[in-house]
A = this chain, B = another copy of it.
Amino acid sequence: MTSFTEENYLKAIFKINEKTSKPASTNGIAQQISTSAASVTDMLKRLAEKELINYEKYKGVTLTPTGNKIATNLIRKHRLWEVFLVNKLNFSWEQVHDIAEDLEHIKSDSLIQRLDNYLGNPRFDPHGDPIPNAEGKFMIRNQTSLDQLSIKQKGVLVGVSQHQSEFLQYLNELEIKLGTAFEVLNITSFDKSIKIRKDDTIDITLSHEVSKNLLVKKINE
């Protein structure tokens, strides 16, 4: 049985592995968990002892199949709970992360199975992130960040790669949400800011900082 804390380490390692495609470093994990490198080393020993991670001193960490199973299941639970909070309890997408962070540690397979069904077996969470299935498989989607598009290209917002509530609230103000359709009107070369026409009606200029965090699906016609 894994503890709350152990689970958070596994999830952190998973995320770092996923993002960097490299073994997670002690410091990287420490930063992700907001703890000291010494604490991380201690925990890595315990997790290696339990055979949840592959760990060699000074070499970085990856997950064993068992560890990976636990991590993806946590992500599955986290994202399903987020769907519940938004779709059923009418929370806004920027409010749900912290609550789901606790709910994901509830240990009951039948609960998650029933929740999944109750929600209609959603494939994506309120931020557009894919929900892995019970076997830990993620659906892959054809997507790029908005800053990769060129002028006249049309697209739809399918996700965000930043979950900070300030960022999401900014999108709320602009009425940009998942499913929003747009066309690229213009790209300013010196600061990479991008002008888009939203829903065929409203023109909005977004900074590069924003556009690179918007995940879009191109529409070809």
Contact = CB atoms under 8 A, between A and B. Distances in A.
15 contacts: A85-B111, A88-B118, A89-B111, A89-B118, A90-B114, A91-B110, A95-B110, A98-B108, A99-B106, A99-B111, A102-B106, A102-B107, A102-B108, A103-B103, A103-B106
A99 B109 CA distance: 10
Contacts of A118: 88-89
Contacts of A85: 111
Taken together, the copies of this chain in the complex come to: 2
Interface residues of A, number: 18
Given A85-B111, A98-B108, A103-B106, 9 more contacts: A88-B118, A89-B111, A89-B115, A89-B118, A90-B114, A91-B114, A99-B106, A99-B111, A103-B103
Nearest to A96: B111
Contacts of A115: 89
A175 to B, nearest CB: 23
A159 to B, nearest CB: 24
A88 B108 CA distance: 16
B114 A108 contact: no
Interface string A100-130: 0011001110110011001000000000000
A220 B17 CA distance: 69
Q: Which of A90, A108, A118: most chain B Cβ within 10 A?
A: A108
A98 B88 CA distance: 23
Contacts of A88: 118
A99 B88 CA distance: 20
B99 A114 contact: no
Contacts of A102: 106-108
A206 B17 CA distance: 61
Contacts of A99: 106, 108, 111
Contacts of A98: 108
Nearest to A107: B102
A56 B118 CA distance: 49
A85 B89 CA distance: 15
B106 A89 contact: no
